[in-house]
Amino acid sequence: MTDSAFNRRTFLTLSGGAALAAGLSACTGGGASDAPTNTGSKELRLFTYEDNSTIDLLKAQIKQFDTQNGTTTTVDSLPGSGAAVYPDKLRTELLGGTGPDVWRIWGGQIGAPFVKAKQAMDLSAYYDKYGWASKLNPAAVSGMTFEGLKGGLPYIALGIGAWYNKAAFAKAGVTAPPTSYEELEEANARILASGVTPLGTAGKYGWHVMRLYEYLLEVSAGPELHDKLLTGAESWDRPEVVTAFTNFKKWQDQKWIPEGAIGLDPADVELWYVQGKTAYTITGPWTEAQGIQAGGKKSADFGVFPFPTGHEPARHSGFVEGYMINAKAGNPDMAAALLDFLIKPETQKAMNITASIVAGAEPDQATLPLSYEWSQGSGKQPFYTIQDQAFPKKQADQYFAIQSDVLQGKTNPAEAAKQMQVVIKGWQK
Amino acid sequence: MITGRTRHGSGLVAWAFAAPALLAYFLFLVYPAMSSLWFSFTDWDGLSATYNVVGLDNYTNMPNDPVVIQAAINNLIWAVVTVVVPVVLGLALAVALNGKVRGKPILRLLFYTPAVLPLVAVASIWGWLYNPQYGAINAFLRAIGLDSLAQPWLGQDSTALGATMVAAIWLRVGFPMLLYLAALQGISQELYEAATVDGAGRWQQFWHITMPGLRPAHYVVIALSVIDSFKVFDLIYAMTYGGPGTATQVMGTWMYFNVFQYNQAGYGTAIAVVITVVAVAVSIPYVRSQTKEHAA
């Protein structure tokens, strides 16, 4: 903090109304309150974004934890909000001074601001106490580690693959999932010729169409260069990036993605493959329970395969979700105990977690055969960070804007690569 | 005879009655507004407990932000289109419905209904209508052989803002219509009868009787519509999320993105201050007209 730095209390004191204004901070959404969020040592509040298919399973497990520990835990959920909305609601709650004790959050650059602002607690002591690092997938732990600080506990790691409608593939004469990028393009052409849009994706919020572009970048750049691009260690103004943008435009021009995809809502489009309007989508294992089965369909009529990259290791994009503890939690020890409970294999199994990072908590093969198949195959492969977690929100939005311009023909691929380098340089300043 | 003491006493009583409302006003409007003004001079990220004072940096940086320029232009286009079109249509509908029309109550209800619908529902409805592949608008165009006019309405920069404004117009026609209808009831029929006797046609009656008679209503309708147009946020946010890219960003959404998503609360609140100043500036004629009328 510099000499000219203020904190909220200083400002309020100077404005001559510290006591009154401290009480008003909840009304104004001003700076963080100094008051603990929870003075009741046995009361916790958990904030999440579970939807109707999973919230009751979570609540049942929380109830069990409460019974064991004599606690009362309130569970609040903002279902279906996604990374575009949920963090805003969480931020508003925290600014109001009454934030949750524990909250679920995405890793990478979505969770980072809460750690940077010291709203989330450093969990290093609890990692040691519970031995979390030895129980969990190291890649997932790194997704919840921010500049060396363990700001969150990973809960699941989700890999993105191609989830397809077998009938649509069969109708198009695609007899097996493609194993190379060339085969994938060939399959797209066949599927389109059969009267079905191949890939169901949408870009209203940027992050869904982004999954296609990041895959194309993995194909053209390969794992090592791709990782360097994401950290800014290599310039984006290079042929591999231009190739990825060129292919990206090609997917739209060839009508391999829905018309006007960039303006469509992913919530509407992602499940078109279940209805047969598209042949496949680019998503994670949650789609089996929340898409296929929730739509009254059988898993046997669908399949999943990794997008072929032609590189070793054969990576897919993926992201981590986890929990953070409020730095002002009234009872951080109890909050940590709750997190430890949530990552126990039996708890995860009871919640039908399809992408557990805990050994012994794989999806149930009988009820979620496709998720199980993914977890035993591609799910074991390394993943690269999904790009709305790789970049801070502002840079991610600039990135999506460039992608949007490429798809609309307003920017050519070579210019897009140059513009992206400018974005990355701006971020690194 | 009223003594000074009595006047003083009644003044205190008046203040006592006004106090609760004043207190609420200061707590929930003045204090937050002043806080926002203060934060616009800081680099607060919106989450941290500390921040630095940066003076006018947030304001001087605005002209260098291409999205602010784009948002300001979009706001201006939005303000003109979504004020002029609904007001003109609302006036036309009010005049039409003020005459002898069958099913008048049903028609009024029909035209006013969009104004009471939740905005998120409106955004969803229009989002479906605009769907490039399955939406009713493109389906209709294709059905009548105008395939070439079928567009990804919300998926390209060239049409996204216009498409959103159509939804806004549909939403906002009912409000001026209702106010004008109420004002039309206040114009004496005798004036029209006298004008008819004098040989004035319908158009002349409209210009020389109806329009002057609606002057107070014009102030209210236009001022509130203009203020409303500068505050636009929800419809854009729900329909396009400011996209594609940043094509439909307006000052309200750009303020929101900066405060709540980019951890630039200082800069975002500076944008909010600018929006407020503009909205206040355009509402001054309305306030002055109301003050004059009250004084008269």
Element (H, E) at A104: strand A102-106
Instruction: List, for residues B157-195, the tens digit of each pLDDT value.
Output: 999 999 999 999 999 999 999 999 999 989 999 999 999
- For A358, which DSSP code? B
Question: A374, A286 in Cβ contact below 8 A?
Answer: no
| Cβ neighbours, 10 Å, residue A163 | 26
- Report residue A389 as tokens: 């977690």
Kindly state whether B233 is in contact with chain A, defined as any CB-CB distance less than 8 angstroms.
no
Can you give the pLDDT at residue A3? 37
Which residues of chain A from 156 to 215 reach within 8 Å of chain B, CB to CB?
197, 203-206
* Helix B119-129 × helix B157-172 angle, to 10°: 130
Grade residue A81 by pLDDT with cuts at 50, 70 and 90.
Answer: low
Of B44, B48, B243, the CB nearest to A263: B243
Tell me the C-alpha distance between A131 and A116, whole Å: 24
Can you give the pLDDT at residue A153? 97
Of B39, B245, B260, the CB nearest to A404: B245
Which residues of chain A from 104 to 133 reach within 8 Å of chain B, CB to CB?
113-114, 116-119
Question: A281, A174 in Cβ contact below 8 A?
Answer: no
pLDDT at A178 over 50: yes
What are B51's strand-pairing partners? A6
Can you give the pLDDT at residue A30? 37
- Which of A382, A408, A385 is CA-nearest to residue A396? A385
pLDDT at B154 over 60: yes
Grade residue A32 by pLDDT with cuts at 50, 70 and 90.
Answer: very low
Question: B137, B130 in Cβ contact below 8 A?
Answer: yes
Grade residue A40 by pLDDT with cuts at 50, 70 and 90.
Answer: low
Rg of the Cα trace of chain B? 24
Tokens 């591609």: give the residue: A378
Check CB contact under 8 Å for B50 and A1. Answer: yes
Instruction: List, for residues A54-80, the tens digit of each pLDDT value.
Output: 899 999 999 999 999 999 999 999 987
Q: How far is CA A397 from CA A217, A316, A394, in A?
A: 18, 22, 5
Tell me the C-alpha distance between A376 and A243, whole Å: 32
- Cβ-Cβ contacts under 8 Å for B200 (sequence gap 6 or more): B208
3 state DSSP class of A381 = coil
Chain B hits for A18, Cβ within 8 Å: none
pLDDT at A380 over 50: yes
* Helix B66-98 × helix B104-116 angle, to 10°: 160
pLDDT at A334 over 90: yes
Peptide bond into A258 cis (omega under 30): no
DSSP of A210-278, one letter per residue? HHHHHHHHHHHHHHHHHHHHHHTSS-S-SHHHHHHHHHHHHHHHTT-S-TTGGGS-HHHHTTHHHHTSE
CA A268 to chain centre: 18
- For B52, which DSSP code? E
Tokens 């691009």: give the residue: A229
Grade residue B68 by pLDDT with cuts at 50, 70 and 90.
Answer: very high
Question: A413, A245 in Cβ contact below 8 A?
Answer: yes
Of A4, A27, A205, the CB nearest to B28: A27
Tell me the C-alpha distance between B35 and B41, whole Å: 10
Instruction: List, for residues A252-278, the tens digit of each pLDDT value.
Output: 999 999 999 999 999 889 999 999 999
Kindly state whether A284 is in contact with chain B, defined as any CB-CB distance less than 8 angstroms.
no
Check CB contact under 8 Å for A394 and B155. Answer: no
Tell me the C-alpha distance between A150 and A249, whole Å: 39
- Cβ-Cβ contacts under 8 Å for B29 (sequence gap 6 or more): none
* Closest-CA distance of chain A to residue B229, Å: 23
Can you give the pLDDT at residue B94? 93
- What is the average pLDDT across B265-284? 91
3 state DSSP class of A320 = strand
Instruction: List, for residues B8-65, the tens digit of each pLDDT value.
Output: 677 889 999 999 999 999 999 999 999 999 999 999 998 888 999 999 999 999 999 9
What are A43's strand-pairing partners? A72
Mean pLDDT highest for which of A190-194, B112-116, B274-278? A190-194
Check CB contact under 8 Å for B51 and A113. Answer: no
pLDDT at A222 over 90: yes
How deeply is A360 buried, as exposed, middle or buried, from its count of CB atoms within 10 A (0-12, 13-18, 19+)?
Answer: exposed
- Which of A413, A397, A420, A376 is CA-nearest to residue A161? A376
Q: Are strands A5-7 and B50-52 parallel, antiparallel or unpaired?
A: antiparallel
Tell me the C-alpha distance between B37 and B270, whole Å: 7
Site from A7, A408, A423 to mutate, B interface, most B CB atoms within 10 angstroms = A408
Can you give the pLDDT at residue A10? 43
Which residues of chain A from 1 to 60 reach within 8 Å of chain B, CB to CB?
1-2, 4-8, 11, 21, 24, 27-32, 34
Peptide bond into A308 cis (omega under 30): no
Kindly state whether B21 is in contact with chain A, defined as any CB-CB distance less than 8 angstroms.
no
pLDDT at A141 over 70: yes
Tokens 């506990």: give the residue: A153
Instruction: List, for residues B186-225, the tens digit of each pLDDT value.
Output: 999 999 999 999 999 989 999 999 999 998 888 888 888 8
Chain A hits for B38, Cβ within 8 Å: 11
Grade residue B127 by pLDDT with cuts at 50, 70 and 90.
Answer: very high
Chain A hits for B152, Cβ within 8 Å: 259-260, 262-263
B232-B238-B240 Cα angle (round to 5) = 90
Rg of the Cα trace of chain A? 23
* Closest-CA distance of chain A to residue B132, Å: 6
Can you give the pLDDT at residue B2? 53
Can you give the pLDDT at residue A5? 45
Tell me the C-alpha distance between B234 and B245, whole Å: 17
What percentage of chain A reaches a pLDDT higher than 90?
Answer: 69
* Closest-CA distance of chain B to residue A405, Å: 7
Check CB contact under 8 Å for B47 and A94. Answer: yes
